[in-house]
């Protein structure tokens, strides 16, 4: 009898040991965070859309994705560097400068751990001016009230380069405000600024808001200074914003632009990035339907254009599996 009791205890002890041992085998949920931009821009939709594709497969890979609104490209670079963000959307010019440690990133030095994942839609530098402002080209900015953008944004980073090219500083303007992307349209409608600057895909909610509330025009961004920028930097290209996208703006508008790119850090697990790109490309038609700016995306350009940093190992693994790269 005594012996029997002993063996029961030993048996249940073994059960507990087995249960404890089995626990780590039940796959743990992993959470990833993607840095986007203002809620009325396109980056926010990129992040939300990528997460939607990833979360469709959560039962299999146990990855849960979220994509909060952020200050934009530069804020996303900083968030990935500090490990707060796993991935982020970043303008191709910002990617180049952050990876190489140039211009506004000179002080911090190159971020060599930056990794490319894929390229998204084109982003023309878009100037929207009040119809009563007298601004017809970016060269009319001196003496006007201009929102040059919040310091975490990509447009601010690009504007710094544009201002330098024109020989302008903040004193050139009657007002150089630093409002977030999502605040620009109402500032324009309330007549607190004459013009807003947004490096962004089209159509987007912010410019829709500005052009439907008041008479506002997309104006051209051209001239010798802009020609020189396009000539000097590999990531700038000439670009045309087609007419007819916004109320009162039926004509094409000439400007220059960059591409939105999706990046990560070498510190992020290969597996996580692999599952993320797989989720996007395996649901690609569904993904492209989530925003009109995604309509013309194609796989070939997405893994070739606008990427300065080396491909993330997880992305490269998936592209190799598909036979897209060697």
**Which bin fits 188, alpha (ψ -120 to 50), beta or left (φ > 0)?**
alpha
41 or 314: CB nearest ligand GLU: 41
- Verify binding: residue 257, ligand GLU, rule CB under 6 A: no
Q: How far is the CB of 30 from ligand GLU (least distance, A)?
A: 26
Indicate whether 262 belongs to the interface with ligand GLU (CB under 6 A).
Answer: no
Binding segment toward ligand GLU, per CB under 6 A, in 24-32, 197-205, 273-281, 284-292: 197-205
Taking CA atoms, 214 is separated from 89, 167, 244, 267, in Å, by 30, 31, 16, 46
Rounded distance, CA 135 to CA 89, Å? 31
Nearer of residues 156 and 278 to ligand GLU, judged by Cβ: 156
| Nearest residue to 116 (alpha-carbon basis) of 264, 230, 12, 301 | 264
Binding footprint of ligand GLU, residue count (CB under 6 A): 17
Stretch that binds ligand GLU, among 130-138, 151-159, 166-174, 186-194 (CB under 6 A): 151-159
Residue 298 CB neighbours (<10 A): 9
**Shortest separation between residue 176's beta carbon and ligand GLU, angstroms:** 17
List the interface residues with ligand GLU, window 198-237 (CB under 6 A).
199-201
Beta carbon of residue 107, minimum distance to ligand GLU (angstroms, whole number):
20
Calculate the dihedral angle through the C-alpha atoms of 216, 217, 222, 223, rounding to the nearest 10 degrees: -70
The DSSP code sequence of 206-270 is HHHHHHHHS-EEEEB--SHHHHHHHHH-TT-EEEEEPTTSBTTB-S-EEEEEEEEEEEEETTS-H
Which residue of 32, 34, 35, 43 would you call a contact of ligand GLU, by CB under 6 A? 43
**Which of 78, 116, 147, 155 touches ligand GLU (CB under 6 A)?**
155
Residue among 90 and 316 whose Cβ is closer to ligand GLU: 90
Residue holding tokens 């008041």?
214
Region from 39-47, 140-148, 217-225, 282-290 binding ligand GLU, contact rule CB under 6 A: 39-47
**Rounded Cα–Cα distance for residues 200 and 183 (Å):** 15
Q: Is 35 in the site for ligand GLU (CB under 6 A)?
A: no
Q: Name which position in 32, 34, 42, 307 contacts ligand GLU (CB under 6 A).
A: 42
- 91 touches ligand GLU by CB under 6 A: yes
Report the greatest alpha carbon distance in the chain.
Answer: 101
Q: List residues near ligand GLU by CB under 6 A.
A: 37-38, 41-44, 72-73, 91, 123, 153-155, 181, 199-201
């Amino acid at each position: 009898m005594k012996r029997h009791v002993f063996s029961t205890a030993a048996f249940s002890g073994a059960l507990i040991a087995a249960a404890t041992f089995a626990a780590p085998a039940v796959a743990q949920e992993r959470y990833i965070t993607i840095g986007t931009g203002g809620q009325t821009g396109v980056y926010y939709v990129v992040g939300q859309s990528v997460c939607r594709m990833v979360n469709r497969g959560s039962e299999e890979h146990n990855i849960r994705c979220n994509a909060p609104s952020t200050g934009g490209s530069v804020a996303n670079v900083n968030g990935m560097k500090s490990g707060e963000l796993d991935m982020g959307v970043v303008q191709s010019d910002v990617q180049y400068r952050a990876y190489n440690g140039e211009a506004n990133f000179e002080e911090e030095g190159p971020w060599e751990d930056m990794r490319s994942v894929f390229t998204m839609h084109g982003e023309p530098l878009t100037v929207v001016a009040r119809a009563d402002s007298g601004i017809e080209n970016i060269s009319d900015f001196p003496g006007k009230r201009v929102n040059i953008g919040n310091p975490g944004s990509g447009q601010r980073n690009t504007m710094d380069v544009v201002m330098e090219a024109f020989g302008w500083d903040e004193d050139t303007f009657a007002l150089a405000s630093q409002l977030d992307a999502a605040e620009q349209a109402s500032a324009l409608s309330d007549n607190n600024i004459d013009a807003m600057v947004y490096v962004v895909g089209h159509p987007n909610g912010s410019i829709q808001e500005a052009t439907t509330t008041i008479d506002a025009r997309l104006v051209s961004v051209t001239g010798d200074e802009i020609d020189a920028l396009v000539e000097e930097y590999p990531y700038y290209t000439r670009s045309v914003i087609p007419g007819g996208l916004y109320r009162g703006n039926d004509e094409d508008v000439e400007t220059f632009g960059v591409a939105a790119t999706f990046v990560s850090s070498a510190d992020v697990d290969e597996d996580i990035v692999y599952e993320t790109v797989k989720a996007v490309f395996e649901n690609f038609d569904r993904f492209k339907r989530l925003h009109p700016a995604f309509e013309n995306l194609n796989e070939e350009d997405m893994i070739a254009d606008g990427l300065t940093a080396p491909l993330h190992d997880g992305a490269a693994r998936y592209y190799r599996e598909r036979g897209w790269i060697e």
